[in-house]
Amino acid sequence: MTQPHIMLVDGMALLFRSFHATAPMNQFFRKQDGTPTNGVQGFARHVLSAQSIINPTHMAICWDMGSQTFRNELYDGYKANRPAPPDEMIPQFDLARQISESIGWKNFGIKGMEADDLIGSLVEKWKDQAKITVVSGDKDLLQLLNPNTTIALTKKGYSEYNPYTMERFVEEYAIKPEQFADVKAFMGDSSDGYPGVKGIGPKTALQLIQKYTSVDGVLAAIEELTPGQRKKIDADREILRVSLELARIKTDIEIETTIPDLNLPTWDAEIKNELLAQEYSLVVRHATSLFR
């Protein structure tokens, strides 16, 4: 029996990417009521293009549900430096999910969790039962790599990806994928707003994990480090621990679903006409014209 091939899509990543690809030129592709649709149209096109390239047998889209998650409770500064979404972006969050559901894609979102955590939990749930390809622009997801999972990082346009397998990751980083969060804990992440250990950059962070395997391993062997490294880590021990929790993607969320729930939608003339008759027909028309 052929193993299923599941494509898991980071919906938020593709929606933001699509919005910012056209917004600087004021190309918002508004509906008659003035609602902008540029991010949604790009999202739908991106998912359909990925589907044609990756050829999955099953697919799901994962979403953030609001700006506040459990990570904000761990650290007040988490993503605090990110600007508020532009006004033209705000109505497109709900619209993107509506379009996704109307097309027939399975969607997941849990309040207080990020799309990454849902993707991580679905990967963990099915890693031994299916081949999995994750589509996103977020390198943090590399920690989810395993022998059956590929992370396809967006690269250019709608059709170019930078795919990582577990073998490629180990060759490039010389650590296991699950150790990537420990590297991020030391180096921090300016886009997510957590500092890691001040003065330790990506190169040193990777070297520490290559040698000592984990944050705990580094702390247990801290007397072996240079005086400068010891001083930096001692000064930021508390935030180092917090940074590790922030960097680590959850893989233990209970998600009630089965692989057959993720079957790809089938289209007939009646369904297409019904979708095109809805108020967001501009977006659906674009999506269905690409779907063959």
Residues 28 and 37: their CA atoms lie apart, in Å, by: 6
Are residues 182 and 127 both part of a single domain?
no
Contacts of residue 267, defined as CB under 8 A and 6 or more positions apart, other chains included, come to 104, 288, 291
Residue 160 confidence class, pLDDT cut points 50, 70, 90: very high
Res. 76: pLDDT tops 90: no
Res. 150: pLDDT tops 60: yes
Average pLDDT estimate for 130-147: 97
Average pLDDT over the chain reads 91
Q: Which CATH number fits the domain that encloses residue 236?
A: 1.10.150.20
Res. 275: pLDDT tops 80: no
Average pLDDT estimate for 83-92: 92
* Predicted TM-score (pTM) of this structure: 0.92
Residue 82 confidence class, pLDDT cut points 50, 70, 90: confident
Sign of the CA dihedral running 100, 101, 106, 112: positive
For the chain, helix (H) and strand (E) counts, in that order, are 13, 6
| Number of folded domains that form the chain | 2
Are residues 139 and 180 both part of a single domain?
no
Contacts of residue 75, defined as CB under 8 A and 6 or more positions apart, other chains included, come to 193, 194, 242, 246
Are residues 206 and 61 both part of a single domain?
no
Are residues 47 and 186 both part of a single domain?
no
289 domain residue, yes or no: no
Residue 278 confidence class, pLDDT cut points 50, 70, 90: low
Q: Which CATH number fits the domain that encloses residue 145?
A: 3.40.50.1010
Residues 214 and 97: their CA atoms lie apart, in Å, by: 38
Residue 279 confidence class, pLDDT cut points 50, 70, 90: very low
Are residues 40 and 134 both part of a single domain?
yes
Percent of the chain with pLDDT over 90: 76
Res. 37: pLDDT tops 60: yes
In terms of Cβ atoms closer than 10 Å to its own Cβ (0-12, 13-18, 19+), residue 114 is: buried
Q: Do the beta carbons of residue 39 and residue 95 sit within 8 Å?
A: no
179 domain residue, yes or no: yes
292 domain residue, yes or no: no
Q: What is the pLDDT of residue 78?
A: 84
- The residue range of the domain holding 43 is 5-170+253-283
Are residues 84 and 114 both part of a single domain?
yes
Q: Do the beta carbons of residue 151 and residue 158 sit within 8 Å?
A: no
Are residues 44 and 115 both part of a single domain?
yes
Average pLDDT estimate for 59-87: 89
Are residues 104 and 212 both part of a single domain?
no
Among 75-89, 214-228, 241-255, name the one with the lowest average pLDDT: 75-89
Question: What are the distances in angstroms from CA 112 to CA 28, 63, 118, 243?
Answer: 29, 11, 11, 18
290 domain residue, yes or no: no
Are residues 157 and 12 both part of a single domain?
yes
Are residues 18 and 37 both part of a single domain?
yes
Q: What is the pLDDT of residue 71?
A: 92
Are residues 231 and 199 both part of a single domain?
yes
Any idea of the CA torsion for 30, 36, 38, 39, to the nearest 10 degrees? -160
Contacts of residue 112, defined as CB under 8 A and 6 or more positions apart, other chains included, come to 65, 66, 68, 69, 70
Residue 292 confidence class, pLDDT cut points 50, 70, 90: very low
Percent of the chain with pLDDT over 70: 91
44 domain residue, yes or no: yes
Res. 247: pLDDT tops 80: yes
Are residues 19 and 99 both part of a single domain?
yes
DSSP at 17 = H
Structure tokens at 46: 């991106």
Residues 145 and 164: their CA atoms lie apart, in Å, by: 8
33 domain residue, yes or no: yes
Q: What is the pLDDT of residue 140?
A: 96
234 domain residue, yes or no: yes
106 domain residue, yes or no: yes
